[in-house]
Structure 1
């Protein structure tokens, strides 16, 4: 079981670093499907793994100066995402305390993630025909970030495909550029999210070894994914991203059936 958790966190972080989706969007539904831990425990472990992976990936990109973070756009987006993340986490706790079973929360999360991933998948297939924007207003960026952070925190995925869709449509970024900027947004959001969890005392009961192994998997996966991202072409990143979304939708459908 320990090896499974490490392997899932490592592979998800590799793919997450390549595509800029954080890895939590893979870790959360996969571990939910396994039914090994509670929904809240998996969300926390996923968040810690995503934080480790995004920190390594962003740091690696800045050192190698391969793709630059557009701070003028991404910083206000990240601030908004952090604020939205706090709201999303609060709503998660409220709903969790209101319902009798965590299966209900898991079902809602799986259904929302399926819907968001499906919309992103359709956008990705048609984006060559869609006229994109180049937003620069800081307040609008903060507003967009709030929505991103809210959904990411409530779903416990730390980021996800929606980040790339937003960065592509609203800011006209290509896939590689969107990937590193998405990871920067995820990093800032996770810092605030984990801080809130720790200060509020809502850390779920988990075995420390699971946490250690998943964080190590996130760090190693982030390093490997960053190296791969620098070497492959944009079109290959697109193919990987599209295939990944199909996999995520399938897992979400399975989880909805299991949580019903």
Structure 2
């Protein structure tokens, strides 16, 4: 079960730039076998494995990230990821009710997915930009990294929406640049966990299965991404957003009952 969660999430994540964490996080919340801290580590590690394979595959296929923009966004996301993880760890230590934390994350995710879905559906009527101010780009990366780290999702949909809106990137460009940012943000998340709370109290029994799924999914997704058109990638992105939105609404309602 967990292998297929990692596999499916990573295939979709590699194709559309979603990263996979935005699927893995609510899916593991739905299964309910692990606490929020463990889910965060399982998601981050699987997404990081997917990002490694996807970037390697994309490089060999001649697909490149958008130079300075993605590097600055990645730098900002690392800094933001540190702050997001600190906030998350503080919340874990302060709130005893794990269901409440799950509900907060699910509510924020559902709201963000709804906003992103509306944006993508109406992108042709929305003016996009080509931001060049390095400070603004760094701040954008900071915000993306902080949200992604706090929610434990990798940041894929957020990255794609920001890249399309602020830098007028196509679906394919947004996808590969999103994965590039995710690579650094998830690496930062894992390093922060290792240096603060550590992994001793986290159940990593099924991590190996999820990592294999992440690697396989990253390879398959990156291969398909090269062959698919921008229109098809956009449709996969939209369809996945709706599924994630509904799953998070369900998780939110369940946490409140």
Q: Normalising by structure 2, what TM-score?
A: 0.97
- Match of 1:91, SS state, is helix
**Counterparts of 2:67 and 2:199 in 1: how far apart (Å)?**
32
How many equivalent residue pairs?
Answer: 256
Distance 1:72 1:127, change over 3 A: same
Residue number in structure 2 paired with 1:142: 138
1:203 aligned to 2:199? Answer: yes
Within the candidate set 114, 121, 126, 2:117 is matched to 121
Residue number in structure 2 paired with 1:18: 15
Is the Cα contact below 8 Å between 1:33 and 1:258 reproduced in 2? no
Within the candidate set 187, 208, 212, 1:216 is matched to 212
**Counterparts of 1:123 and 1:165 in 2: how far apart (Å)?**
8
Matches within 5 A, 1:73-92: 73-92=69-88
For 1:226-257, what per-residue CA distance to the aligned partner results, in whole angstroms no more than 9, with x for missing partners? Answer: 00001111101111111101100110011011
Matches within 5 A, 1:1-260: 4-65=1-62, 67-203=63-199, 205-260=201-256
Query: 1:203 Cα deviation (Å)?
Result: 2.4
**Counterparts of 1:205 and 1:237 in 2: how far apart (Å)?**
39
**Counterparts of 2:242 and 2:197 in 1: how far apart (Å)?**
36
The answer to which of 42-51 and 208-217 deviates more is 208-217
**Counterparts of 1:17 and 1:224 in 2: how far apart (Å)?**
8
Distance 1:188 1:235, change over 3 A: same
Is the Cα contact below 8 Å between 2:49 and 2:211 reproduced in 1? yes
Could you list the structure 1 runs, at least 4 aligned residues long, displaced by more than 2 angstroms after superposition: 201-209
Query: 1:206 Cα deviation (Å)?
Result: 4.1
Query: 1:207 Cα deviation (Å)?
Result: 4.2
Is the Cα contact below 8 Å between 1:23 and 1:50 reproduced in 2? yes
Structure 2: gaps spanning 5 or more residues: none
- Match of 1:253, SS state, is helix
- Match of 1:141, SS state, is helix
Is the Cα contact below 8 Å between 2:36 and 2:102 reproduced in 1? yes
Is the Cα contact below 8 Å between 1:82 and 1:149 reproduced in 2? yes
Structure 1: gaps spanning 5 or more residues: none
For 1:146-199, what per-residue CA distance to the aligned partner results, in whole angstroms no more than 9, with x for missing partners? Answer: 000011000000123111110000000000000000000000111111111111
Query: 1:209 Cα deviation (Å)?
Result: 3.8
Is the Cα contact below 8 Å between 2:84 and 2:148 reproduced in 1? yes
Is the Cα contact below 8 Å between 1:44 and 1:204 reproduced in 2? no
Query: 1:204 Cα deviation (Å)?
Result: 6.1
Q: Normalising by structure 1, what TM-score?
A: 0.96
**Counterparts of 2:197 and 2:35 in 1: how far apart (Å)?**
17
